[in-house]
Structure 1
């Protein structure tokens, strides 16, 4: 760490130039569809399951309940938790 620590260098200007970085572009929807098709073709478990979707939905419902009540909401939601549809004004 001594080699990477420069306590007096904070005030120095950068002497290098700009570096252009172009990450590979890939559609997330295409990647999701490819992973799904691969799981079917090769018999692998899906990367994202129905349980993951259910948990995401429960998280959103908890946020709606919290917004409606103005209080914290614990997850997992109880079985008798109301289904909330937010009003958009």
Structure 2
């Protein structure tokens, strides 16, 4: 992809962000493989992108509500050893 930055500092920052994204993607692939997941990375990322959270306020109490885990999103949490967040979390 082309880089639309002209200042040296911004070009360096852009390259660093791209490198970090590559490192994270590589680590995620490795964790998926170790967990024995057969789900393709791109499908898994699509499913994770569809996971949403909505902030609600009822009677002065703030809540964070997440949607159901779409598709194979659970596989990502399992592969990374992260517990699935509760459907509703009080944030007040």
TM-score category by the smaller chain?
0.3 to 0.5
Instruction: Return the structure number with greater relative CO, CA threshold 8 A, min gap 6.
Output: 2
Larger radius of gyration: 1
Greater percentage in helix: 2
Structure 2 length-normalised TM: 0.33
**What's the TM-score, normalizing by structure 1?**
0.34
